[in-house]
Amino acid sequence: MTAREAIDYLQIKRATLYTYVSRGWVKAISPGGSRKLYLRSDVERLKVRQRARAGHGAVAGDALRWGEPVLETRISNIEAGRLTYRGRDALDLTGHPFEQVATWLALGRWVEPAPWGGLEGRRVEVERPLRGETPLKTMRLVVARRGVPQPDPDPEREFERGAALVHELAAVMFAAERVERARAEATVAAALARASGLLATAREPDLLLEALNGALVLCAEHGLNASTFAARVIAATGADLDACLLGGFAALSGPLHGGACDRIEAVLDELDAGESADAVVARRLEAGMAGFRHPLYPSGDPRTAPLLAWARRLGGDAPRLQSAMALERAMRRVELDTPTVDFGLVALCAALGLPRGAAAGIFGLGRCAGWIAHVLEQRETRALIRPRARYIDEPTP
């Protein structure tokens, strides 16, 4: 935001804005010259605090926008810069199978999982209409085409149905001609690696599978983000699991959620075309640069570092990865050096040479684990999610 936009939004004096900056409440950056911009997420967080003093109605209204918690959950928590899955640090779980972590999230059981590749589930033939689509849209279409199985009252059986679907989605994300071989893989990471064609050519297949499995674990769950909340609202109506996941994918398709990866890729296209990272950053900052400074992690998104480490180990010389690192350095020069998980996923996919849209696809595939967990938890409550809107009366013209 410009200074004028921040002042008008907060209804404060210019001196007060400078006080907020000096106290570290609002980040100020200099994209060039003497001009300054103020971080939108910091300004919006201050607005929530202002409205909290205005009474219960204002607090409830702002709760839907990075505000106070609106639901109780046992699934995950974000606090003091840490993301935990049922009390376990998400970063510590990246060395465990994605299937084991997903079982822990959904059922609260820490057990060695059976291979998801052997689970029975509805399969969708991937014909020509799906070719050429992005991985995220392909998965959404596959879920929509599966039919509508009735909800199973047994959480264990319902989770198994969801697990079979997730494995199927990994197999169909990329080329249609590799689907059958991908379906034969035991794990979601291996199915993804086979479907993408990486497993057949990898010089370090174990490292490849480690990175893909870790990426899926880091994307598995993140509280009441937009897609998870959408899936929970749908689950609260008694809808079947496929409908809930379809709602999650629909929310994820928006540019402000799952589309963040696509927006980062668009920036890298500009760098690949020869424009300097500093010039791109200076031009794009005011409109908002995706992939940096997560509102829930003022000191940095903890999920990013492992992804960047895998990217460097797997393809440190890849030109596309070098463009990503140049962008990170340019953002550091304007004191915005905290890349998010979206940036980390794009960097990993750049290192692996995966096509456009792969990062968003991996994000959505991993997030299915969290959606399933929240659907099952919401069903336990047997409660409809039905907030009310605060009506604003406007004079009739």
Catalytic annotation, residues: 294, 342
At 261, the amino acid letter reads: C
Tokens of 117: 């590749």
Distance, CA of 205 to CA of 193 (rounded, Å): 9
Distance, CA of 233 to CA of 225 (rounded, Å): 12
Tokens 């990062």 correspond to 359
User: Residue 46: helix, strand or coil by DSSP?
Assistant: helix
Which candidate, 135, 107, 16, places its Cα nearest to that of 6? Answer: 16
Which candidate, 390, 271, 379, places its Cα nearest to that of 329? Answer: 271
Distance, CA of 334 to CA of 361 (rounded, Å): 30
Tokens 């479907």 correspond to 195
Tokens of 79: 């606090």
Q: What is the DSSP string of 114-172?
A: PPGGGS--------GGGTTS-HHHHHHHHHHHT--PPPPS-HHHHHHHHHHHHHHHHHH
The burial class, CB within 10 Å (0-12 / 13-18 / 19+), for 239 is middle
Which candidate, 122, 119, 180, places its Cα nearest to that of 149? Answer: 122
Distance, CA of 362 to CA of 216 (rounded, Å): 7
List beta partners, residue 37. 29
User: Residue 394: helix, strand or coil by DSSP?
Assistant: coil
